[in-house]
Structure 1
Amino acid sequence: MREGEPSRTAFGAAAYRAVHQDLDGGAIFRDPLAWRILGADREATLADAEATGRARLRVFIAARHRFAEDSLATAVERGTRQVVVLGAGLDTFAYRNPYDGTRVFEVDFPATGAWKRERLAEAGIGVPGTVTYVGVDFETDDLMSRLVEAGLDATAPAFFLWLGVVPYLSEEAVAATLRAIASVPGGEVVFDYTTPTHRLEARAQSDRTDLVARVAEVGEPLSAGLEPETLHVLLAELGFDEVEDLDRPQIRQRFLGRPGGTETGGAHLLRARAGGILTP
């Protein structure tokens, strides 16, 4: 993040979500507000997407939202009524929330949160009374204190959507955030992460090198990545006893209906629940 500016990568992720609605027919994830909140020229954005490619990244971003919101639906069925969107960017869940009686807390760097509210007003997207905005710097602020100050009930279950954020954080910030989530009874989170470069195959290494260079240019460098085994140990130590971690082959099988293949490393989708019941 640059002081006083919104996140450039948040805008980029929103563009991929919008383009997915057209180029892929929203086959994985439907978002009727994606283009409205983006506020960009549709034809130019689509032309740029077709010219630059990066279909794999676009599909992954759609898949992570689908995985997160499918998991959220299950949590709501269990009785969860608090939803926290960490690093909300231009995420639109709070403005198309289908679950009566749920409260949504949107957490983001203050400059990005302010920029989003401007975009909502410009797009004519109403803000429900159930939405609360919370300004947080994940590297320095105490997340749970900020949420409780904003009205979160830390004694009741909460579901955390944490998408497109972990790859930019230090390991210390990731651990601190997971510790905060685990402090909530029945706290549940979905996030994506990337493995270190040495675990990637040749094509994925090239894709990551390109991505690293692009985000570094806008002042939002990626971290080195997380080792899945180390992450799973941390989750267990923090009290997450229900963990689902999808690698590239599993993501391909579940959301594209294609053979998984043998590709290792790269982007993962992970769901973890504290105090849950292990399922076979």
Structure 2
Amino acid sequence: MTGPTAGVGRTALLVAAARAIESQLPDALARDPYAAAFVRAAPGTAHWPLHPDRIPDRVSDPLWGRLGGYFALRTRVLDDHLLAATRAGARQVVLLGAGLDSRALRLPWPSGRTVHELDTAGVLAFKHRVLERVGAVPRAGRRPLAIDLRGAWTTALLDSGFDPGEPTAWLAEGLLLYLPAAAEQGLIAAVDRLSAPGSTLAFETKDISAEPDRVLRGPLYTALRERLGLDLPALFAPGPRPDSAGALRARGWKVRVRTPYEFTALHGRGPLPEPDDALAANRWTFATAVRGTPGRPGAEDHRRGRGGRDVGDSPDDIPATG
């Protein structure tokens, strides 16, 4: 991200707006008291709705209804995943491409947890100004780190107090879609090197190169272009995507790949499949570093973490799709 108001940075505002809308629903999947403040503080977003009452026909609206519902569901699923990992023993969380994520402030973390937020200086500076203005107080140790994840970043993370000997809950939410394939491969390899047994990684993938033109011209992407001036497919990294789930399996991780629709069924909320579906190719992957991964220190099996819970499972133990 180069900043919160243009390019990929603007997508962070889009997700924040979706969280703000979801937070006002009586049956909200997730609540974010800071999301609206981020959107209001950014230029060019005054016309964006931040409450469901401002969205006529919200259920059928491809932007704030369907895509917004996708972001709300994704937020809930990944919230659950991170909390399960930390309750199982992970004492540090690393948000890769943190954007306007407010999990360090809004989630009920177990005591003694640290949340590292990695993103570019422009995004983190904007985030700091907004959070300072509203008097936000973190519920875990919060360590922002200005870095470009397309380059070298592991040394800076280690220098910030990250301990590779401790289990870590890693998250790459809405990140890998925008990274060049080589950068994604490098990031996955770096996470593997820095992960003690019992560490977890959740990430989202999508191969935009496989999308037919009728999907790219469909209602969801058209609404983004016409109503927000956001050409999302143009921001996705071009070309075939690497098989990061397969790379982790080869490194000895337990990996489960899900579709969003599995969690729609689980929670009774979220998008459903439709013809020429812009969300059909989205996949959410949950991985756990297990004993015997080459190059990882420690022979003891930490798979169940200090709390005894099986952190190899995804947020809910439903059948894998691949």
TM-score range, shorter chain: 0.7 to 0.9
1:270 matches 2:319: no
CA distance in 1 between counterparts of 2:116 and 2:255 reads: 23
Structure 1 position 53, deviation (Å): 4.2
1:231 matches 2:244: yes
* Percent pairwise identity: 24
Q: Flag the 1:129–1:68 CA change in 2: closer, same or farther, 3 A.
A: closer
CA distance in 2 between counterparts of 1:4 and 1:163 reads: 16
What are the superposed Cα offsets for residues 119-139 of structure 1, whole Å, 9 maximum, x if unpaired?
A: 101222134671111111011
CA distance in 2 between counterparts of 1:190 and 1:206 reads: 28
1:100 matches 2:111: yes
CA distance in 2 between counterparts of 1:166 and 1:77 reads: 26
Q: Flag the 1:132–1:248 CA change in 2: closer, same or farther, 3 A.
A: closer
Given that residues 248 and 266 in structure 1 are in contact (C-alpha distance below 8 angstroms), is that contact kept between their aligned partners in structure 2? no
Matches within 5 A, 1:27-176: 27-39=28-40, 44-46=49-51, 49-50=55-56, 53-54=62-63, 55-98=65-108, 99-127=110-138, 130-140=141-151, 142-176=152-186
Given that residues 181 and 188 in structure 1 are in contact (C-alpha distance below 8 angstroms), is that contact kept between their aligned partners in structure 2? no
The match for 1:9 is 11
The match for 1:193 is 205
* Higher helix proportion (structure 1 or 2): 1
What are the superposed Cα offsets for residues 175-207 of structure 1, whole Å, 9 maximum, x if unpaired?
A: 111112112113311121213353569557625
1:180 matches 2:180: no
SS of 2:115's equivalent in the other structure is: strand
The match for 1:245 is 257
The range that moved more, 46-55 or 62-71, is 46-55
Counterpart residue type for residue 249 of structure 2: A
TM-score norm. by structure 2 comes to 0.72
Structure 1 position 87, deviation (Å): 1.4
Structure 1 position 168, deviation (Å): 0.9
Structure 1 position 150, deviation (Å): 0.5
CA distance in 2 between counterparts of 1:176 and 1:211 reads: 34
Counterpart residue type for residue 39 of structure 1: R
CA distance in 1 between counterparts of 2:250 and 2:205 reads: 19
What are the superposed Cα offsets for residues 214-268 of structure 1, whole Å, 9 maximum, x if unpaired?
A: 5448x9811247668x33322222332x212111432322233689769783222
The range that moved more, 80-89 or 270-279, is 270-279
Structure 1 position 156, deviation (Å): 0.8
CA distance in 2 between counterparts of 1:121 and 1:33 reads: 11
1:256 matches 2:256: no
Q: Flag the 1:237–1:143 CA change in 2: closer, same or farther, 3 A.
A: farther
Aligned length: 275
Given that residues 37 and 123 in structure 1 are in contact (C-alpha distance below 8 angstroms), is that contact kept between their aligned partners in structure 2? no
Given that residues 67 and 220 in structure 2 are in contact (C-alpha distance below 8 angstroms), is that contact kept between their aligned partners in structure 1? no
Structure 1 position 102, deviation (Å): 0.4
TM-score norm. by structure 1 comes to 0.82
Structure 1 position 69, deviation (Å): 1.5
CA distance in 1 between counterparts of 2:223 and 2:91 reads: 36
Q: Flag the 1:166–1:50 CA change in 2: closer, same or farther, 3 A.
A: farther
CA distance in 2 between counterparts of 1:60 and 1:258 reads: 6
Q: Flag the 1:42–1:80 CA change in 2: closer, same or farther, 3 A.
A: farther
SS of 2:263's equivalent in the other structure is: helix
Q: RMSD between aligned alpha carbons? A: 3.5
CA distance in 1 between counterparts of 2:163 and 2:34 reads: 29
Structure 1 position 272, deviation (Å): 1.2
Q: Flag the 1:225–1:193 CA change in 2: closer, same or farther, 3 A.
A: farther
* Structure number, greater radius of gyration: 2
